[in-house]
């Protein structure tokens, strides 16, 4: 665990800026295969995620379970962080250890809360592709939420 990761976990914004300003590596991997941006995403720290993206943090790092930062953001149900990552060019075709892509994860949770349809629409808008299996499995719910596929 690096000083940057600890500062992120405890949401010490000023310390994060000092550490990054001093030249700390943003992409060191620690526990669970997580970098500082993964900790910020899992804790839903929108401003820290934005700062880390703006200062060059990689959002293409994959953790020990082959989850990408955007997958973790979908699991955390954080629409704002998902949008930040999508706008920064986060990869959408990564598959985790279970063979799931980010759209697969989002579809599994589409009915969990009001964010489900919004997240799926956003991912599709930014280029996520539905498999034929997903279309067959989720077509009724996609139609219910007026999501074109």
Q: Tens digit of pLDDT for each residue in 14-23? A: 999 999 999 9
What is the domain-level CATH number for residue 38? 1.25.40.20
User: Is 109 inside a domain boundary?
Assistant: yes
What SS3 state is found at 139? helix
User: Is 149 inside a domain boundary?
Assistant: no
The per-residue pLDDT of the chain, averaged, comes to 95
Q: What is the spatial distance between Cα 40 and Cα 9, in angstroms, rounded to a whole number?
A: 7
Q: What is the spatial distance between Cα 84 and Cα 100, in angstroms, rounded to a whole number?
A: 21
Q: Tens digit of pLDDT for each residue in 104-121? A: 999 999 998 999 999 999
Domain around 14: 3-144
DSSP of 85-137, one letter per residue? HHHTT--S----TTS--HHHHHHHTTTTSTHHHHHHHHHHHTT----HHHHHH
The rounded radius of gyration (Å) of the Cα atoms in the chain is: 16
Q: How far is CA 44 from CA 2, 5, 6, 78, 138, in A?
A: 19, 14, 15, 7, 28
Predicted TM-score of the model (pTM): 0.91
User: Is 137 inside a domain boundary?
Assistant: yes
Q: Are the C-beta atoms of 76 and 84 separated by less than 8 Å?
A: no
Inter-helix orientation angle 13-21/46-54, to 10°: 10
Number of domains within the chain: 1
User: Is 32 inside a domain boundary?
Assistant: yes
pLDDT in tens, the chain (149 residues): 999 999 999 999 999 999 999 999 999 999 899 999 999 999 999 999 999 999 999 988 999 999 999 999 999 999 999 999 999 999 999 999 999 999 999 999 999 899 999 999 999 999 999 999 999 999 999 999 999 98
User: Is 69 inside a domain boundary?
Assistant: yes
């Amino acid at each position: 665990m690096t000083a940057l990761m600890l500062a992120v976990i405890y949401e010490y914004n000023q310390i994060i800026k000092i550490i990054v300003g001093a030249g700390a590596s943003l992409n060191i991997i620690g526990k669970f295969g997580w970098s500082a941006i993964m900790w910020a995403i899992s804790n839903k720290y929108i401003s820290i995620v934005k700062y880390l993206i703006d200062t060059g943090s990689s959002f293409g790092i994959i953790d020990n379970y082959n989850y990408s930062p955007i997958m973790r953001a979908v699991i955390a149900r954080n629409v704002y962080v998902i949008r930040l990552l999508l706008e920064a060019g986060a990869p959408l075709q990564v598959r985790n250890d279970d063979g799931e892509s980010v759209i697969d994860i989002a579809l599994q949770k589409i009915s969990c809360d009001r964010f489900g349809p919004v997240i799926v629409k956003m991912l599709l808008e930014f280029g996520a592709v539905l498999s034929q299996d997903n279309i067959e499995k989720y077509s009724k719910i996609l139609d219910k939420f007026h999501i074109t596929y």
